[in-house]
C-alpha cells in the first residue's frame, strides 16, 4: 500500500509508440527522487501518442528534473512535447494499487477550482476514483481525476464524462512502472527538451 500523497504529473505528446518512447525515457538521467515511484500511461489517437507520467513522493520535495540526454548518435530523433502539469495533493484515493492488464485509466483534467466534484464522484464505481488537487498556485489544472475502468465499460464512462462537459478527457493504459530506482545525481540538469 502506498503511503505517499503527493504526485507530480507530466504530459507528453509524440508520434513514438511505447517501446521507442520508453527507450528515450531511459536515456535521460533524472534528479534524486524522480524515479522513486513512477507510473507511465499511454493513449493513442490518430497516430499521435500521449503519455502521462505520475511521480509519487513521500517527502516534502515534489519536484523532479530530467537531466540532459546522453547522445549516442547524430541521427534525428522524433519530437517529444512535454507539459508539466505541476504538483498535486491526493485528496481522495479509493484505489491504491496499479491498474491491471484489462483496466484502463480515464484522466479528467479540470481547470476550474469551482468544479462540482460530487457530480464526478457519482460516476465512479466503488473504489475506482482518485482525486488530485493542485498543490501550488501555478499548476496547470485545479484538479486531476483518475478513474479506473474495465475495457468493456470505459466507453460508457467517457460518454458520461462528456455529458458533464469535462474539459480534457483521456483514456490510458499503463505501459511502464518504475519503483525505487536509485539514480546518481549529476550537475547540470536540464528539462526534457522538445525536439
Task: Look up the pTM and report it.
Answer: 0.78
What length does the chain have? 195
Helix/strand/coil (H, E, C) string of the chain? CCCCCEEEEEEEEECCCHHHHHHHHHCEEECCCCCCEEEEEEEEECCEEEEEEEEEECCCCCCCCEEEECCCCCCCCCCEEEEEEEEEEEEEECCCCCCCCCEEEEEEEECCCCCCHHHHHHHCCCCCEEEEEECCCCCCCCEEEEEEEECCCHHHHHHHHHHCCCCEEEEEEEEEEEECCCCCCCCCECCCCCC
Q: Between residues 60 and 54, which one has the greater pLDDT?
A: 54
Q: Is residue 18 assigned to a domain?
A: yes
Q: Between residues 7 and 165, which one has the greater pLDDT?
A: 7
Whether the per-residue pLDDT at 139 is higher than 60: the answer is yes
Q: Is residue 184 assigned to a domain?
A: no
Which whole number is the average pLDDT over 111-137? 89
Give the CATH number, domain containing residue 138.
3.30.70
Predicted confidence at residue 133, as pLDDT, reads 96
pLDDT tens digit sequence for 3-52: 558 888 888 899 988 888 888 777 665 555 555 677 888 888 888 999 98
For 171, the domain range is 6-179
Whether the per-residue pLDDT at 141 is higher than 90: the answer is yes
Q: Is residue 185 assigned to a domain?
A: no
Q: Is residue 170 assigned to a domain?
A: yes
Query: Residue 90 pairs with which residues in a beta bridge?
Result: 132
Q: Is residue 11 assigned to a domain?
A: yes
Predicted confidence at residue 23, as pLDDT, reads 80
Q: Is residue 53 assigned to a domain?
A: yes
Q: Is residue 175 assigned to a domain?
A: yes
Predicted confidence at residue 110, as pLDDT, reads 92
Whether the per-residue pLDDT at 194 is higher than 60: the answer is no
Whether the per-residue pLDDT at 69 is higher than 70: the answer is no
Within 13 Å, how many C-alpha atoms sit on residue 104's CB side? 20
- Tell me how many domains the chain contains: 1
Residues 154 and 82: their CA atoms lie apart, in Å, by 26
CA triple 149-54-69, angle to 5 deg: 135
Query: Residue 137 pairs with which residues in a beta bridge?
Result: none
Residues 126 and 97: their CA atoms lie apart, in Å, by 14
Which whole number is the average pLDDT over 122-140? 87
Q: Is residue 193 assigned to a domain?
A: no
Residues 169 and 45: their CA atoms lie apart, in Å, by 12
Predicted confidence at residue 81, as pLDDT, reads 87
Which whole number is the average pLDDT over 120-129? 84
Residues 169 and 112: their CA atoms lie apart, in Å, by 15
Instruction: Identify whether the C-beta of residue 126 lies closer than 8 Å to the C-beta of residue 95.
Output: no
CB neighbour class for 58 (10 Å; exposed up to 12, middle 13-18, buried from 19): middle
Whether the per-residue pLDDT at 87 is higher than 80: the answer is yes
- pLDDT bin (cut points 50, 70, 90) of residue 185 is very low
Which whole number is the average pLDDT over 74-83? 74
Amino acid at each position: 500500500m502506498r503511503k505517499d500523497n503527493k504526485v507530480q504529473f507530466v504530459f507528453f505528446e509524440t508520434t513514438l509508440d511505447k517501446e521507442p518512447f520508453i527507450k528515450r525515457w531511459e536515456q535521460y538521467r533524472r534528479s534524486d527522487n524522480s524515479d522513486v515511484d513512477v507510473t507511465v500511461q499511454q493513449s493513442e489517437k490518430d497516430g499521435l501518442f500521449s503519455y502521462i507520467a505520475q511521480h509519487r513522493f513521500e517527502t516534502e520535495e515534489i519536484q523532479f528534473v530530467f537531466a540532459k540526454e546522453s547522445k549516442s548518435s547524430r541521427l534525428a530523433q522524433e519530437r517529444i512535447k512535454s507539459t508539466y502539469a505541476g504538483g498535486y495533493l491526493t485528496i481522495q484515493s479509493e484505489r491504491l494499487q496499479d491498474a491491471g492488464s484489462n483496466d484502463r485509466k480515464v484522466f479528467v483534467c479540470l481547470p476550474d477550482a469551482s468544479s462540482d466534484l460530487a457530480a464526478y464522484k457519482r460516476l465512479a464505481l466503488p473504489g475506482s476514483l482518485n482525486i488530485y488537487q493542485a498543490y501550488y498556485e501555478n499548476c496547470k489544472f485545479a484538479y486531476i481525476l483518475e478513474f479506473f475502468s474495465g475495457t468493456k465499460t470505459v466507453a460508457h464512462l467517457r460518454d458520461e464524462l462528456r455529458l458533464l462537459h469535462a474539459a480534457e478527457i483521456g483514456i490510458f493504459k499503463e505501459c511502464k512502472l518504475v519503483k525505487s530506482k536509485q539514480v546518481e545525481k549529476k550537475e547540470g540538469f536540464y528539462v526534457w527538451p522538445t525536439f
